[in-house]
Every structure is written in C-alpha cells, then in structure tokens.
Structure 1
C-alpha cells in the first residue's frame, strides 16, 4: 500500500485542503497508516502531477495559498485497480517483540516497566476507539453500506488493542512469576 492510495481514499470521502486532510488524517487513517504532514503534501503534489487529483484555489478568492484537492477519474481508476490487487497478509513490525527477545538473551534488564507503559498506551488507544464506536456507530441503529464497512475497520482496531492488552498483561504476569522464582 502506498500513501497515495490512503490519500485518494480520504479525498474521496471528503475533498479537502492539504492542511485539513493532514488534520483529518491524524484522526482517522493515521490510526493504521503513519505519515507526516510533509509527506502528505509531497504526495499530493506527486498525485496532482500524475493527474489523479486536481487542486482548486480556496474559496477565499486567492487571499491564501490554500487549495482544495479533489480526486479525478484517473485517481478513481488507480484506486479501483489497487483495491483489487492481491496482497500478502500484514507483516507485523513490533519493536517490543524484538526487545523481549533481547531481554530473554541478555536479561533480566527490567523491561517490565516499558511493557507496563506500552500496556497503558494500548489501553488509552482502546478507550479512544470505544469512544469513536459509541459516537459514530452504536448510536445509529441503521448504518449505510459505507458506515458498516468503516465500522469493520474500527472493529479490527478494537480487537487488535484488546489482543495486545491481554498479551501485555499475560507477559507482565510471566515476568512476575519468573522474578519470584529467583
């Protein structure tokens, strides 16, 4: 997946200025794809050069350099082709797993505190996702096709956080057990 496909999807959901897109990105797509605001602006320029999007001056009659980006037909076609491409399952890049492997070889080093910090961060992320679930999906009894699919993406995030939280709690408990056997 490339940042261009993430941005095309986001712009199809709502045409936006680069600034608004970057702010929205942090609160939606940013939960599962990371990009700096600078990367977003560079990619918007590249996508415009490829004819996938069009930038129009802002409605402020040119008083600012702000542009509103919209997806063109070529961008829609690119996204459609990309959606149908075969892909391999997600490859996990979890630094904590590597740190634990190193702890196993070199330890004990006291990694439990960092693991507890990660646990807290995942609990906070889960609480945020559950708030979004209540705000955007549970209150409405009838969801559109788009909302139902977006809800499935959120549920993946919720289950990922729950799994990580349980794994961290079990791993912390293992460290307590191992430390008490010294």
Structure 2
C-alpha cells in the first residue's frame, strides 16, 4: 500500500486539513498503515504538485487551516491503483527469526518480549471490538459500511491470530524452561 493512496482515500471520505487528516489517519487507516504527521504533510504537498488534490481557500481569520480535496486526477489514480492485481506480501517479521534463533541457541529472555507483544495485541483487539460495537451495532448496511466493517473484521482476525500465537509461543517457551529446571 502506498501512503498517497491512503491519503486520497481519506480525503475522498471527507475533505479536511492536514492536521485533521493526520488525526483521522491515526484513528482509522493508521491502524493498518503507519505514517508520521510529517510524512503526511510532505505527501500532501507532493499530491498537490501532481494535481491529485487541491487546497481549498482557508476560512477567514487567523490560523485557519487549509483543507484539501481530491481532484478528478486523484480520483482516477486511486481507481487505477485500487484495480491493480497485487501479490500478497510474505510474512516478514523478525520475531519469527528470533524464535528460530532461540531454538538453535537455547533459552533466552525472548518470552518477555512475547508477553509484551501479547499485551499490545490484546489491547488492540479490545479497541477493535469496542469500535465494532460502537460503529457497526446498528445502521443501514450500505456497501460502504459493509466494506468498512470488513476492514475492521480483518483487523480483529489478525489481532486474534497474534493473541493466540503469542499465548502458544509463551506456552512453548515456558514449558521448555520448566523442563530444563529454570524458574
């Protein structure tokens, strides 16, 4: 995924300023695609130079922020990109290599890292379920709502997988320590 396409998507959902976009990004797309506020502002400038977005005239008054909206060329680029066929990205997680290393070199303190990861995944899973209960409990099931819910459900499934994986890894690591007489 590319940051420009994530930003085009967010701006098509609702034109807004860079700071509003960064905040919205942190609360939605940011769960699935990370970007700093600095990266977002830099990309907004680039998208404007490409003619994919335009800055709206700021409202009257000091300190008013410029809102951005997507131009037809930006919409067309997003349509082109969305319709492309992409190969799934292979899992590339250093934890997998660290687990293999633990298997070769013997017990380490890797279990502490996995316990920390477990807590993070449990927190994110709870947050996703809270969002699901708040945002998708009621309402007309439009195509857009169903697609938004589908994205959230993918996040719930992924976090559930990581919670289960971390619990299993901890069980293996702790059992190995117990078998070797470590406390």
Q: Which moved more, 1:171-180 or 1:118-127?
A: 171-180
Tell me the residue number matched to 1:12.
12
Question: Is this contact kept in 2: 1:58–1:64, CA < 8 A?
Answer: no
Tell me the residue number matched to 2:68.
69
Q: 1:62 Cα deviation (Å)?
A: 4.9
Q: 1:149 Cα deviation (Å)?
A: 0.4
Question: Is this contact kept in 2: 1:18–1:69, CA < 8 A?
Answer: yes
Gaps of 5+ in 1: none
Take 1:6 and 1:92, find their aligned partners in 2: how far apart are those partners?
Answer: 21
Take 2:77 and 2:157, find their aligned partners in 1: how far apart are those partners?
Answer: 31
Tell me the residue number matched to 2:171.
173
Q: Secondary structure at the match of 2:136?
A: helix
Take 1:74 and 1:122, find their aligned partners in 2: how far apart are those partners?
Answer: 38
Counterparts of residues 82-121 of structure 1 (less than 5 Å)? 82-121=81-120
TM-score normalised to the size of structure 2?
0.94
Tell me the residue number matched to 1:150.
148
Counterparts of residues 2-41 of structure 1 (less than 5 Å)? 2-41=2-41
Take 2:57 and 2:130, find their aligned partners in 1: how far apart are those partners?
Answer: 36
Q: Secondary structure at the match of 1:69?
A: strand
Tell me the residue number matched to 1:55.
55
Q: 1:65 Cα deviation (Å)?
A: 5.6
Take 1:81 and 1:39, find their aligned partners in 2: how far apart are those partners?
Answer: 23
Take 2:178 and 2:63, find their aligned partners in 1: how far apart are those partners?
Answer: 64
Take 1:91 and 1:32, find their aligned partners in 2: how far apart are those partners?
Answer: 16
Q: Secondary structure at the match of 2:126?
A: helix
Q: Secondary structure at the match of 2:56?
A: strand
Tell me the residue number matched to 2:161.
163
Q: 1:135 Cα deviation (Å)?
A: 0.5
Gaps of 5+ in 2: none
Take 2:62 and 2:136, find their aligned partners in 1: how far apart are those partners?
Answer: 39
Aligned residues: 180
Cα deviation digits, residues 158-180 of structure 1 (max 9, x gap): 00000111111111111122112
The CA RMSD measured in Å over matched residues stands at 1.2
Q: 1:101 Cα deviation (Å)?
A: 2.2
Q: 1:69 Cα deviation (Å)?
A: 0.3
Tell me the residue number matched to 2:46.
46
